[in-house]
Structure 1
Amino acid sequence: MATAGQWIEGARLRTLPMAVAPVIIGTAAAFDLGALHWGRAVLAALVALLLQIGVNYANDYSDGIRGTDEVRVGPLRLVGSGAAAPQHVKMAALGALGLAMLAGLALVILSQAWWLLLVGAGAVLAAWGYTGGKNPYGYMGLGDVFVFIFFGPVATLGTTFTQAGAVSAAAVLGSVATGLIAVALLMANNVRDIPTDRDVGKRTLAVRLGDANARRSYVVMLALAVAAMLVLVPAKPWLLLVLVLVPFMVRPSWLMLTGRKRKSLIPVLKQTGLINLGFSVLFAAAMVLTGR
């Protein structure tokens, strides 16, 4: 039976900044539009965090029963390592996704944006379908597309709309930027796993691109995230604050380009998550300073 520490490790806390960042950006964009509802922001954060934990456990369960995680470098896999029974991990995944649905329902009721129920249902199906079911899209190289959509525009613009009833250019470009950083984090994870994923037929985008191109794409995505903010600088000069992150992008980018040992890429996950969180905080600071 898995210990509490193993369950926490299985939740993959390093990926959680990826869930929080779009909520911070979306809330900051709502503030810029003259609307800020802390209660709705907290609910949006709960939805995002619970979805992320749910998809992490669902991924652990589905990859574990397929045998994908039997030889894996990186964080503990509960099923693959034998630390927890598959059914227990499945129930943990469904429990987290169920709580996310309840928080999402409360957010929809408060905002009266009923059409978001369909978006929420799509997010839950996407969370399970990443590696679950007969034809998981994560095994076809589509995981990066869905991560961009749901951890970029959907999470960010959904947060903004539930508070302001509208979206803005800042919200849209902020959603693109945080989505790109989220995909960069996924790419770092998948580059590390190219050998084992290829052997079990898991055709992630990293596998399809090949090792060298997948590593380069990580650097390109971080660069594009910063460039997206520079587009807004003429109207919102304080967004130059995001340039503070550039020095912190150098080390993970260098590791991605030069780290040949698979274990050397593990720190990149945490570093990329912190970059996304730092980006969202600097974006929020820029929105507040712009509004003064």
Structure 2
Amino acid sequence: MATLAQWAEGARPRTLPAAAAPVIVGSAAAYHAGEFSGWLALAALAVALSLQIGVNLANDYSDGIRGTDLERVGPMRLVASGAASPSAVKYAAFGWFGAGALFGLVLVIASAQWWLLAIGVAAIAAAWFYTGGKNPYGYRGLGEVGVFVFFGLVAVLGTQLTQAGRITLVGVLGAISIGLLACALLMVNNIRDIAGDRMAGKMTLAVRMGERNARLSYVAMIAVPILLGSLAAPATGGWSLLVCLLLAPAVLLSIPVLAGAWGRALIMVLSGTGLYELGFALLFAIALVLGAR
């Protein structure tokens, strides 16, 4: 029987700031569009956090029963370590998915954006089949596609849409940026696990691209959002140039990745990337609020 502390670690709380980032940007984009609802923003945040914990536990379960986690470096895995039974972890994942669905239903009813129900179902399916099912798409190098779509485009634009009733250019720029940063998180995680994933037959995008190209793509994923944020300057009275403050952190994160950091040395980069995404979200959100007309 896993302890409460082990369950908390297995839920990977360090990923939660990254789950909050798209809600922050989407809510700020709604404010910039002339509409903002605090309680709808909190409902969107509850959806994002629930689904993030759910997907973390689902990945723990699916990778654990396949043996993918046996040679992996990083946070404790509940199934692979034997701390919790596979069924317990699976049902915990379903429980968090259910919580996300309930919060999402509240959001849909309040905003009357009924078509988002289908998007919510797709998001939960994508979370499960990333590593679950007979042919998980995360094992075929498509994980970044799912992350970009659901933790970037859908999360940011869905948040804006439920509050403002429309999508704007600054919202799209923010959504693409957050999607790329979410992909960067996944990429550096998979760079760390290339050797183990290759042995286990998990053909992530990092495995398919090769180590050198994967490392270069990570740098591009954290650099391009600074450019995209800067492009919003005309719509924010120049305030979005605040994202240029991230140039120094981007360099600091890129150096160990390009220098060939491996294994545990990449854990700090992974944690830093999550904070970098949150930092981008806060700076871009501040720019949207200050630049609102």
Q: Runs of at least 4 residues of structure 1 off by over 3 A?
A: none
Q: Is the 8 A contact 1:191 1:215 kept in 2?
A: yes
Counterpart of 2:46 in structure 1 is 46
Q: Does 1:91 align with 2:80?
A: no
Distance apart, 1:218 and its partner CA = 0.5
Q: For residues 217 and 261 of structure 1, what CA distance do their matches in structure 2 show?
A: 16
Q: Is the 8 A contact 1:14 1:269 kept in 2?
A: no
Q: Does 1:288 align with 2:282?
A: no
Q: For residues 230 and 291 of structure 1, what CA distance do their matches in structure 2 show?
A: 16
Alignment size in residue pairs: 292
Counterpart of 2:197 in structure 1 is 197
Letter in 1 for 2:40: R
Q: State the TM-score, normalized to the length of structure 2.
A: 0.98
Q: For residues 192 and 277 of structure 1, what CA distance do their matches in structure 2 show?
A: 21
Alignment of 1:267-278 (within 5 A): 267-278=268-279
Distance apart, 1:154 and its partner CA = 0.2
Q: For residues 68 and 55 of structure 2, what CA distance do their matches in structure 1 show?
A: 16
Counterpart of 1:182 in structure 2 is 182
Counterpart of 1:252 in structure 2 is 253
Counterpart of 2:227 in structure 1 is 227
Distance apart, 1:176 and its partner CA = 0.3
Q: State the TM-score, normalized to the length of structure 1.
A: 0.98
Distance apart, 1:119 and its partner CA = 0.3
Q: For residues 233 and 290 of structure 1, what CA distance do their matches in structure 2 show?
A: 9
Q: For residues 284 and 223 of structure 1, what CA distance do their matches in structure 2 show?
A: 18
**Structure 2 gap segments, 5+ residues each:** none
Q: For residues 138 and 46 of structure 2, what CA distance do their matches in structure 1 show?
A: 24
Q: Is the 8 A contact 2:40 2:107 kept in 1?
A: yes
The percentage of counterpart residues that share the same residue type is 58
Alignment of 1:100-119 (within 5 A): 100-119=100-119
**Structure 1 gap segments, 5+ residues each:** none
- Per-residue Cα deviation, 1:205-240 (whole angstroms, up to 9, x for no partner): 000010111011110111111111122223321000
Distance apart, 1:291 and its partner CA = 2.2
Alignment of 1:211-222 (within 5 A): 211-222=211-222
* Higher mean C-alpha displacement, 190-199 vs 260-269: 260-269
Q: Is the 8 A contact 1:78 1:89 kept in 2?
A: yes
Q: Is the 8 A contact 2:58 2:93 kept in 1?
A: yes
Q: For residues 251 and 4 of structure 1, what CA distance do their matches in structure 2 show?
A: 35
Letter in 2 for 1:163: Q
Q: For residues 26 and 72 of structure 1, what CA distance do their matches in structure 2 show?
A: 34
Letter in 2 for 1:173: L
Root-mean-square deviation over aligned CA pairs: 0.9
Counterpart of 1:79 in structure 2 is 79
